[in-house]
Amino acid sequence: MSSAAASEDAFAKTPHAGDERRERIRLETARHRIEGLIVIAADGYRSRVSDVLNASERDFLTLTDVTLQPLDGGAVERYEFLAVARAHVVYVVAAGDPSARS
């Protein structure tokens, strides 16, 4: 079982899994491209990635199952958890299924 699949299984067993969902996003800072999973509400209030990005009470975005790649071409690093300061985010997109990319 891949680490992403194991991570999904563990998330599904948490008490609030029905109220939350995880979405894979890709973001960029001035120096890095980062891809990982963000937890957002399943529906309603704060159910969009943009809601989390615009939450003024949050200074950091928390991501799990993360890849971090320097924009200058350095090696890709992998982390289970990474917090990114919202102030450093240049853009965010939905990453979708990485196996579907060409």
In a domain, 54, yes or no: yes
Structurally, the chain folds into a number of domains equal to 1
The CATH number of whichever domain residue 68 belongs to comes to 2.30.30.100
pLDDT at 102 over 70: no
Residue 96, domain extent: 22-100
pLDDT at 100 over 80: no
In a domain, 1, yes or no: no
pTM, full prediction: 0.74
**Computed from CA positions of residues 13, 16, 19, 21, in that sequence, does the dihedral angle turn out positive or negative?**
negative
Q: What is the pLDDT of residues 8-57, one digit of tens each?
A: 565 555 555 578 999 999 999 999 999 999 998 888 777 788 888 888 88
Question: Which residues, 6+ apart, have CB-to-CB distance to 45 below 8 Å?
Answer: 51
Using 50, 70 and 90 to split pLDDT, how confident is the model at 77?
very high
